[in-house]
Amino acid sequence: MTRLPFPLAPDPEAEALERGRKLFAGRCEFLKGVVAMSGLPPADRVEICFAGRSNVGKSTLINALTGQKALARASNTPGRTQEINYFALGEAHYLVDLPGYGFAKAPVATVEKWQRLLKAYLSGRPTLRRAFVLIDARHGIKAVDQEILTLLDKAAVPFQAVLTKADKVKAAEREKVLDQVRARLQPHPAAFPEMIVTSSEKGDGIATLRSTIAALADV
């Protein structure tokens, strides 16, 4: 049987699961919100960032990963995350919540400023190990996502697709979305060849994503 391109990440082995659990069982706290490149903390530790269009569930996913319901501010209002938000995970890692791109209830000039900051960060952060690009499992990759994927290609930043809100869609529809995402990812050389499907509400995929991040920390 031909193996599908961009298969779902396999379930981690016990040792990898434990490493992921330990990493996220430690202290994780909000460090700062950054509105300009000059405000970034020193590039002295591994960084993992989360990118995605507005209201895709970045903040909710970070809360699920860390087991802290209010660590990252989640909102039903698209565009609420207006800064690059840094979270210190233990003593040697940063989790980074990027501004949502695409539709936002804000003035055009403000949205453009967010997008410039987002592009500058992705293009120029030397300690960024991987970007996790969040895709709504109900909708798949949209035109607005293509710009960020192309930017990641140009910046040579490896990225991995993470589908969110998987509990909101039936299994048959999810497969259609997965096929669409696979097709859209194929032209992108920076795309990591496995996807992760998550539900922050149900906990699906959270342990796999923790293990993936823990493994990156050791590279």
Provide the domain limits for residue 205.
Answer: 14-217
Instruction: Look at residue 178 in the predicted model and tell me its pLDDT.
Output: 96
Instruction: Look at residue 104 in the predicted model and tell me its pLDDT.
Output: 55
Instruction: Look at residue 77 in the predicted model and tell me its pLDDT.
Output: 47
Q: Please indicate, yes or no, if residue 42 is contained in any of the structural domains.
A: yes
Q: Please indicate, yes or no, if residue 86 is contained in any of the structural domains.
A: yes
Instruction: Look at residue 166 in the predicted model and tell me its pLDDT.
Output: 96
Q: How far apart are CA 34 and CA 37, in angstroms?
A: 7
CATH number of the domain where residue 104 is located: 3.40.50.300
In sequence order, what DSSP letters do the residues of 16-81 get, joined into one string? HHHHHHHHHHS-EEEEEEESSGGGPPPS-SEEEEEEEBTTSSHHHHHHHHHT-TTSS---SSTT--
Q: Please indicate, yes or no, if residue 7 is contained in any of the structural domains.
A: no
Q: Please indicate, yes or no, if residue 4 is contained in any of the structural domains.
A: no
Instruction: Look at residue 4 in the predicted model and tell me its pLDDT.
Output: 66
Q: Please indicate, yes or no, if residue 6 is contained in any of the structural domains.
A: no
Q: Please indicate, yes or no, if residue 9 is contained in any of the structural domains.
A: no
Instruction: Look at residue 55 in the predicted model and tell me its pLDDT.
Output: 85
Q: Which residues of the chain have pLDDT under 70?
A: 1-4, 73-81, 102-106, 218-219
Instruction: Look at residue 103 in the predicted model and tell me its pLDDT.
Output: 56
Instruction: Look at residue 83 in the predicted model and tell me its pLDDT.
Output: 82
Instruction: Look at residue 72 in the predicted model and tell me its pLDDT.
Output: 75
Number of domains into which the chain is organized: 1
Which of 104, 112, 63, 49 is closest to 81 using CA atoms? 104
Q: Please indicate, yes or no, if residue 161 is contained in any of the structural domains.
A: yes
Beta bridge partner(s), residue 52: 134
